[in-house]
Structure 1
């Protein structure tokens, strides 16, 4: 896999490096800044590649804030495996230091070397679970008891077990497992209320408070939900499915059953995506906004919103973020329901509705003063409206958990699984105004 791992600043200057195999010259990384600059000058974004091949060496890299993490290999290795490892390395270091940047690299180089030695051995990834690593590699490393013949600090058993993400001896008085199915909706809606593009990003999250080494089995509502060739035509076909490392992939591939021994605490069991081609979706929260400009005086905004969900469902914490000109002032708001807040530093007003029952419709009127109207008309109408919301006990895709069975062969305790469904707005739920 990777022969060397390097941390570099934004200019390509090496901050820290680890050589695992010794088959690549130590000064090979010096070519990386010029190679990166040459690639950026010669290729557009559509042809971007996360690696560069030069003189038989693959420079595999990712950027994080003001840092570059680069893995070097001299053989025909799996590029994606190295990228995934570098991403996991960023995740681990961020959980250790909260913020991974140039300063934190310089301040914590001793711990980073320890982590690099534990996370990769001779270029092959090993333990990458932060909870396990934190048991024996701590930021207070100088406080650890020194090893002596009578007292040797050993890594936890989980490192050498097949279940490296969970330690032995976990015990809870009350054994519970909480499962959340969270679907985030990204949607682009035109001024007439028609959906131009949409997608569902789903996460199945679990919070495990279970003793011992429990074995869990998760059943979902549709046999064809995982894009199986034998699924019926009405089945949901998920795309980009990703599982946590605890899931037995061979069991899933052969029998389409999700079985796993969970890590302790919170983790994401699986994530998925559903494209708009599978759903004739309509906006869950529809917004219609019109702007009237009174020349040389003020702007008037008339906004209406409606929930297009079942009457028994309720949207919570709804926010309709309406852009306004930068120089708008002296606002007056007349909401039929909810509250309206002026946020001048973001050049917008936010209409907040704490609860929004299904099938309901509300209106809001806003008036703002404008020093200069002539130059702002086009600017006002072109900016889209952003909508935030959360709908509990509801999933757009219709995915449901049929069962979550928990079995601990040694302790054989009674457990309590809890399931919750949430649909919420994604990062890009927007309504065009023109």
Structure 2
């Protein structure tokens, strides 16, 4: 049984608050944030207590999703509910971030009214709820693609098929009255990159994990055929075809995928499940280890020294080696700093950037909303640290980057075509997304 549900930003800002049973006051929001920020370490416990009140929370999209209960409820049930609630917000709003929640607070309150009745969970199916939700979503820009289960998809131009424009990234799940029975299918090609770059600029480790996800809203579709690159090869086998090769080390498929055309034509055949969040299918997973087909997307050139006043000066030049027509979004550069650091002054190369010293984690967070390919940005940080040790430079780094690369797969994997059988009688839309994000991108200084 749920007493309250609330959503907080990473800074503790109150975004959504819903009290279902009136068993606790609104001050529990502040109590929760004080408890979660007072803990040491990066992973606070999912379940915490305050008197007779139990807090259960998850982190999604940089936000705290919290449910409270005073009964002996199963914490696993509440964790699953919060994850599904976050998935619903992504389904209906098209993205999951603080700005999206702020712009769609009315829609989220309407969702909570339908999902929970006096503390009892009713349904979390977006396919069922779309018949009752009447509030229209407000699309936010810039969007966030960090959570892989995002269903607000954007497209790209493939070799043989035209798919959705990039503005579809924040496309919400529309209500049935607006859709008019329109058939849609969503295909995700998502890759996660893990890279370690040494202080000399040499790539020490480079791994890529990827997957293809399908979500279908076409009840009459009995079979789907997904064509991959003809030059797609697995393992160290001979390269296929004459075009640019796409190679992975390992590959696995969903049990429903038929592979009778895969060896000859690189075509996956499957019968899609009906369109519910819980029925989204991961049709293929693959991995590439110890190499990247192209240069890493970011290079860092640091200069760190002490000035005459005892301050630590850190001058960082960050270069984006993507193609000029590409861009990275939501870039966050985390620079660990020495113990005893109390404040920082900064000089950034563009006004849209921001930086902040996080005393709890002893790190500077340098945020760049959009970083075009082929460009370079710089930042000068002057760190006040009265208690600097004899070797403060040894306490700086390694630098960790978090980012998202829309329209791009590191391996080069693409959807060559997407065909449905039988041919759909009415109008249908097909949305394809390519996105790579950083799983772990570490640069030693």
| Shared fold, TM over 0.5 | yes
Asked if the contact 1:291–1:300 (Cα under 8 Å) also holds between the matched residues in 2, the reply is: yes
Q: 234, 243, 256: which is aligned to 1:246? A: 256
Answering whether residue 421 of structure 2 is matched by residue 407 of structure 1, we say: yes
Answering whether residue 371 of structure 2 is matched by residue 371 of structure 1, we say: no
Asked if the contact 1:342–1:348 (Cα under 8 Å) also holds between the matched residues in 2, the reply is: yes
Q: 181, 186, 202: which is aligned to 1:173? A: 181
Answering whether residue 288 of structure 2 is matched by residue 274 of structure 1, we say: yes
Asked if the contact 1:296–1:372 (Cα under 8 Å) also holds between the matched residues in 2, the reply is: no
**Bigger shift: residues 199-208 or 342-351:** 199-208
SS class of match (1:237): strand
Equivalent residue for 1:429? Answer: 441
**Bigger shift: residues 312-321 or 265-274:** 265-274
SS class of match (2:395): helix
Asked if the contact 1:343–1:349 (Cα under 8 Å) also holds between the matched residues in 2, the reply is: yes
Answering whether residue 305 of structure 2 is matched by residue 289 of structure 1, we say: no
Greater Rg over alpha carbons, structure: 1
State the shift of 1:188 in Å: 0.8
Q: State how 1:343-362 maps to structure 2 within 5 Å.
A: 343-362=358-377
**Bigger shift: residues 321-330 or 370-379:** 370-379
Q: 1:387-423 deviations in whole A, cap 9, x for unaligned? A: 11112112222211110111247x7444321212112
How far apart, in 2, do the equivalents of 1:375 and 1:328 lie?
A: 14
State the shift of 1:287 in Å: 1.3
How far apart, in 1, do the equivalents of 2:294 and 2:340 lie?
A: 37
Equivalent residue for 1:236? Answer: 246
How far apart, in 2, do the equivalents of 1:218 and 1:375 lie?
A: 60
Q: 300, 304, 313: which is aligned to 1:300? A: 313
SS class of match (2:233): coil
**Bigger shift: residues 221-230 or 292-301:** 221-230
Q: 209, 228, 251: which is aligned to 1:220? A: 228
Equivalent residue for 2:271? Answer: 261
How far apart, in 1, do the equivalents of 2:327 and 2:294 lie?
A: 18
Give the TM-score of the pair, scaled to structure 2: 0.55
How far apart, in 2, do the equivalents of 1:180 and 1:368 lie?
A: 43
How far apart, in 2, do the equivalents of 1:399 and 1:306 lie?
A: 25
Asked if the contact 2:409–2:434 (Cα under 8 Å) also holds between the matched residues in 1, the reply is: yes
Compared CA separation, residues 192 and 281, structure 1 to 2 (3 A) = farther
Equivalent residue for 1:161? Answer: none
State the shift of 1:376 in Å: 5.0
Q: 403, 407, 416: which is aligned to 1:393? A: 407
How far apart, in 2, do the equivalents of 1:432 and 1:377 lie?
A: 15
Compared CA separation, residues 192 and 280, structure 1 to 2 (3 A) = farther
Asked if the contact 2:332–2:367 (Cα under 8 Å) also holds between the matched residues in 1, the reply is: yes
RMSD over aligned Cα atoms: 3.4
SS class of match (1:421): strand
State the shift of 1:256 in Å: 4.4
Equivalent residues, number: 274
SS class of match (1:305): strand
Compared CA separation, residues 421 and 254, structure 1 to 2 (3 A) = closer
How far apart, in 1, do the equivalents of 2:420 and 2:285 lie?
A: 21
Compared CA separation, residues 402 and 303, structure 1 to 2 (3 A) = same
State the shift of 1:368 in Å: 1.5
Compared CA separation, residues 347 and 240, structure 1 to 2 (3 A) = same
Asked if the contact 2:340–2:388 (Cα under 8 Å) also holds between the matched residues in 1, the reply is: no
